[in-house]
Amino acid sequence: MTKPLVAVLSGAGVSTDSGIPDYRGPDGLWRKDPGAEKLVTYEYYMGDPEIRRRSWEMRLRTGALRAEPNAAHLAVAALEKSGTPVRVITQNVDGLHQLAGMPARKVLELHGTARAVVCTRCRARGPMADALARVEAGEADPPCLECGGVLKPATVMFGERLDPVVLGDALAVSKACTVFVAVGSSLQVQPAAGLAGVAADHGARLVIVNAEPTPYDDLADEIVREPIGGALPKLLAELRAR
């Protein structure tokens, strides 16, 4: 008998316990500093060296690469290790699901990764840590070492398209899963948010774990408003037991 597939859509709320701020929550980055959105908007980033300088500065200051997986990331990895088929679809760019033990091939990063950089001209990639070391050494806006082009994080900025292959895989998982757990996501950013509706339309049990209401609450079979660090491990342990 085929084991049921569990899809986990993870948003920024999953990583707040790791010290990475969310964006749209009550204390979110965009609410505290609306100007910060420009730092991750492709048009502004490419057109203004000062925006790029501030963007690199922000990365150095926040120290996102030093973050460690928390109880929620570890619970997802534990469910996968138990033999339950699990696929993670994440809106996060922090790589913490993989650090927690989820195989990279089972994690679909809709918005790319902040752990790498990519050249906007020749598409060469390299570790973010190396680029940040150059910034620390005095390069305010480090260019690509291959061609001199503008370097950016390997994330999908506002104004850029999602990778159609990754999005297609996420859509296939959403249609095929038996249980779809949306956790720590406001479910307001499309097309990622729409995956919850796709899963529900294809007969999956939809569970939403989020502090605030979402546009998909009416479709949910279960809604959990408790803190994610305690609620998700409990929920996934119950799934495993079933």
Give 205's strand partners: 179
Give 150's strand partners: 143
Taking CA atoms, 181 is separated from 43, 48, 71, 95, 178, in Å, by 34, 39, 16, 19, 10
Residue 192 CB-half CA count within 13 A: 29
Cβ atoms within 10 A of the Cβ of 2, count? Answer: 6
Spatial contact of 98 and 125, defined as CB atoms under 8 Å apart:
no
Whether the upstream peptide bond of residue 191 has omega within 30° of 0, thus cis, is yes
Name the token pair of 42.
């492709």
Name the token pair of 91.
């809106």
Strand order in the sheet with 179-183: 107-109, 86-90, 6-10, 179-183, 205-209, 222-224
What is the DSSP code (8-state) at residue 225? -
Spatial contact of 109 and 91, defined as CB atoms under 8 Å apart:
no
Which is the catalytic residue, given 73, 97, 111, 202? 111
> Does residue 111 have an active-site annotation?
yes
Rounded Cα distance, 234 and 220, in Å? 18
Contacts of 122 (CB under 8 A, 6+ apart): 144, 146, 147, 149
Which residues are marked as active site? 111
